[in-house]
Chain A
């Protein structure tokens, strides 16, 4: 036997033939195909028991009842709560809450900045250090140089901060203002009490909105959307008056473009026609017995707001104005909405008063389809904090923002005045600043100025859950739990009634964070003395339980406790004359009617830049989740470029084509942008979304676009002192 090459070939052939009769190749083929179908690096979600936990969303002031889907102990999804009551509803932001819970930009532990770098510290160390610094200030009789910026003014947590400042000895508790503050002023001037209006849109048959972003994030978006759908089902009318074809304008039965900033003028012009034609008499109200100052008002609008003059100022045709008035007064239950966009900028007091006069003339207060007036509910009945001499000395110092004093007599808080106050003094009048539930370094107009001002403050404590723009400028961060990890009361409305909802922890805190309510109580305890005595609760939970008392059982079951007594019933309830006052001394003191104009020289800046709000871009303290940013159109953000909308005719004047790059300059700053030609915007006006251009947070958000607050400055409303800027003059140059 000789083994040669052929033998080996034969061996090979035999082996091959043999393999075909063995399971090996077939099994390998099957296994390898299974392997390619299940790459080990593609995650396999772990299965488990599904459960649903109800809670109240506190990501915006809407306070919706939502339900969270869990698998074992992890949150998987947020959903609409399956219920008709309990303020149930959900919007794109609420749906994003699971992503925000597990977001990479969450702050995972208390942090301290040492030589520009973040160092992890324990809650105990952070509290001790803050308390130490606070003690030193008190020793120097400088307790009033502690200030606090709070994103919200309602509920127990802001109330704890306010109480802390009082007990410590500082008057400088400042809340981030919104349109709600101006709403309250409108009614405290006209009805003597700071009612909060709730517009009964679902039951109205004619809704006229003066730039209110009914479908762009205003009020409680989920409820607004529901109401709008009911309007559509009932075939009732919605009229939108604004310069840009917003989503609300697009859904409206009629869009009336108007020169921005002249909405108040239009409202007064409409009032003039109603009075002139005596249309208000059709409403069967004993007008003279329920109103005051009518004659004076009548004379005023007749003099300055003739339909001809109004048409010229607003750019709305005379016949459109008269037709609008007729339709409005012919309707059974008309209602006029005020408050621009989603309502994050407070806006002009006189403009809102002017629109509200239409509601008064239509006599729709507290009627189905009209304006319902709710008093701010007062379920927090704590005893007054105990003040020692230092505290007493401190709280009697003047507020830094000047609110409640002199020409700012109407406002309670004026955050927008703070940068100017800080910048106008050599050394910072604030030695320590608490920032809770807010991101002022991003949300305040004229960001550069704001930054300059706040950089002067020697010590900033942030309570933010996220590494946002403000937190990254802080010296110590005591990160709050996310709302899905904590108890908190949320002030809301259920239907047309004031209510308080209860956020409940859906999961245990996933990081080493601390409830801001606990943080305040612990700091107070560390300070000792009367301050500690003013915070006798063991922790926030104890404080909340005590505050809510029996309401808590209802809230545990129903999520909301509805305050049946908080509804304004009749004009006779009003504290003053019991009548709707068109003019009175207080109103005269505000020098009616002045409307705010855009900042900048027309010659140098021929265009006007306005902001627009979008449901898909969160512009407040809460920022976008990755999913939300994913929904933003490529005509708003492309790569990192932001687009400004411009009318094609205007674009042609500036030699701009769709998508071309341009330099946008305003009196406040410059930015490289791209242009998007849009037929839904007036000539000469350009618009840009709010909520982009973050520098903080994660790579899913940071660096995309421009923060419009860098380009727009604040304009003090001469009547209230609040920021009333609706835009700024601008120029676009092709690059």
Chain B
């Protein structure tokens, strides 16, 4: 029901927004928005007509999923302030611990090897610019 409602509202919003566009550029997204609303309404209708059963669990292990998602959000948020490799190293060390893995040496060896591999591929071989580290010279006006 909620899924259908979400899509129906999304479609209506898109159609309403598209109505303000001038010319043919607005017709196509408006039709798509209305079609999305129709699909969402069909899902709502089916859900309403379906027999009421036991609620199905959406997430099998909510605590682990929430920990992984929170760590992902924190990681993305820290990439620019801390630097790519510092934030990545923190994630490699902390997330397994958060998920209950209690072998710090194993985590450290795998994490360090992986970060070195990523650094070799992206920074040394491909020379891709990544967010500078907190402690790097480029943060202080150096090279």
Bound pair (A, B): no
CB within 8 Å of A: which residues of B? none
CB within 8 Å of B: which residues of A? none
